[in-house]
Chain A
Amino acid sequence: AQSVTQLGSHVSVSEGALVLLRCNYSSSVPPYLFWYVQYPNQGLQLLLKYTTGATLVKGINGFEAEFKKSETSFHLTKPSAHMSDAAEYFCAVRAYSGGYQKVTFGTGTKLQVIP
């Protein structure tokens, strides 16, 4: 079984401030972890992913996330928020379950950037 918990359905930050979106997961097998961004009325766009290797993963648009196995976390950060970062962000976990791959999404966090 696997699950994803995103703390905070809405996060507001000032332009230029640090962005921190939290994601915790549970998985009975080593998972792949992902962050996606969704703009209104659009599909999902991959920000970054962790599969194996280096635990600090850098993605597009200046975002990065760190896989912390001991904390079962994969929080998304960006040093300085930009107005264009306002969107909804989804954390996801992918792992094999019952012989096939299963992807589970968190409930999403809507990021608001205040000018």
Chain B
Amino acid sequence: GAVVSQHPSRVICKSGTSVKIECRSLDFQATTMFWYRQFPKQSLMLMATSNEGSKATYEQGVEKDKFLINHASLTLSTLTVTSAHPEDSSFYICSAIDRGSETQYFGPGTRLLVL
């Protein structure tokens, strides 16, 4: 079946540094990818919708200059957390829609810890 991968799966960084998370659709083309954030014991919060070849659409309250999203190709989207702070520590999950089947697949998530 279709798979979405995320790299890294876990990352620990110092406050003030930037962290890049990659999301890849492994065997399908994804015109649309989503980035979610999940706090402990809470639901997924949609951060932004990433469309290949165009700027990402951010949800209200999400700082686009802090969470940079690049959907460079039909199989890759990246989320860069710039100047990370401890409050950015969270579980980040990407998702991709297979443009052929319209099925949405989720990545396994990336756990970010900012010290």
Point out residues on A near B: beta carbons under 8 Å: 34, 36, 41-46, 49, 51, 90, 94, 100-108
Which 3 pairs between the two chains have the least Cβ-Cβ distance? A43-B108, A44-B106, A107-B43
Q: Chain B, 93-112, contact with A by CB distance < 8 Å: what is the 0/1 string?
A: 10101000011111111010
Q: Are B104 and A103 in contact (CB under 8 A)?
A: yes
Interface size on B, residues (CB 8 A): 23
Point out residues on B near A: beta carbons under 8 Å: 32, 34, 36, 42-46, 49, 51, 57, 93, 95, 97, 102-109, 111
Please name the residue on chain A nearest to B110 by beta carbon: A43
Q: Which of A41, A100, A105, A107 contacts B32 (CB 8 A)?
A: A100
Q: Are B42 and A108 in contact (CB under 8 A)?
A: yes
Q: How far is the CB of B42 from chain A (nearest CB, A)?
A: 7
Please name the residue on chain B nearest to A100 by beta carbon: B49
Q: Are B43 and A101 in contact (CB under 8 A)?
A: no
Q: How far is the CB of A25 from chain B (nearest CB, A)?
A: 14
Q: Which of B36, B43, B108 contacts A108 (CB 8 A)?
A: B43
Please name the residue on chain A nearest to B108 by beta carbon: A43
Provide the bound-state CA to CA distance between A49 and B93, in Å. Answer: 20
Q: Are B93 and A104 in contact (CB under 8 A)?
A: no
Q: Are B44 and A105 in contact (CB under 8 A)?
A: yes
